[in-house]
Amino acid sequence: MDAIATPFVQGQLRGENLSFVVESSCADTGRPIQIEIDSELDYRVLQEEADLRIFVPLIDADRLDDPSIIDAF
């Protein structure tokens, strides 16, 4: 989670557009996947042929009893 927050926060504080690349692999095929995310939280998949599904789970932060969002999963 820190990897996503850091460029976003740094970019906002500096007034600069910063970005980073997440390197992973497909759970089904094992092919490498790279996702570039910038400080505006815009993203793009660097492999043109990838048919990537990205989701953000919804968590009710007001009712969160876990120590962190990660623990809620």
Q: Say if residue 4's pLDDT is above 60.
A: no
Per residue in 14-63, pLDDT tens?
888 888 888 988 888 888 889 888 877 788 888 888 777 766 667 777 78
Instruction: Output the pLDDT for position 73.
Output: 67
Confidence grade of residue 7 (pLDDT, cut at 50, 70, 90): low
pTM, whole model, 2 decimals?
Answer: 0.55
Bridge partners (DSSP) listed for residue 44: 36
One DSSP character per residue, 10-32 reads: HHHHHT---EEEEEEE-TTT--E
